[in-house]
Amino acid sequence: IGIDPGYAICGWSVVEKGFKLCDYGAIETPAGMPIDERLFVIYTQLNDIIARHKPDAAAIERLFFAKNTTTALDVSKAVGVILLAWRIHALPYREYTPVQVKQALTGFGRADKAQMQFMVQKLYRLKELPSPDDAADALAVATCYLLERG
């Protein structure tokens, strides 16, 4: 399972070796909802996804925020509940920086979002670009894990 963490939109994907896409999507919480309720929604829906797909490992994009510390703190809280869910399900996990994910998928650590989405679309033989962007990013993170593990 791959995760692009967020508290408003948390992208997720489940893949298998051989670039087989099982499922993907986004856990969304409405603006204005208190952060504790948002975290509960993320935790509950992620547990449902794990129970449905039974992944054997997990990968998450490592946070990088240069400007907005409030957003960084709330996304960090979301990462905490994600890691808790994985721990409860005994899922080993890896963290990847955005540069590592871009390098693994495109061979270029500064690839733009369009290049990343194109590679994900081609690797998984999708007719359309994965949507929303957060789910596409989660798919890229999961793919990075697959490529690292061989």
Does the annotation mark 36 as catalytic? Answer: no
The residues that bridge with 25 in the sheet, in sequence order, are 12
Beta strands in the chain (DSSP E): 2-4, 9-16, 20-28, 58-61, 93-96
Residue 87 contacts by C-beta under 8 Å, 6 or more apart in sequence?
none
Instruction: Mark whether 4 is an active-site residue.
Output: yes
Answer whether 64's CB lies under 8 Å from 99's CB.
Answer: no
Which one is catalytic: 128, 134, 137, 148?
Answer: 134
* Cα radius of gyration (the chain): 14
**Residue 128 a catalytic site member:** no
Reported residue count of the chain is 150
Q: What are the tokens at 92? A: 């080993």
Catalytic residue among 61, 95, 112, 148: 61
Q: Which residues are catalytic?
A: 4, 61, 134
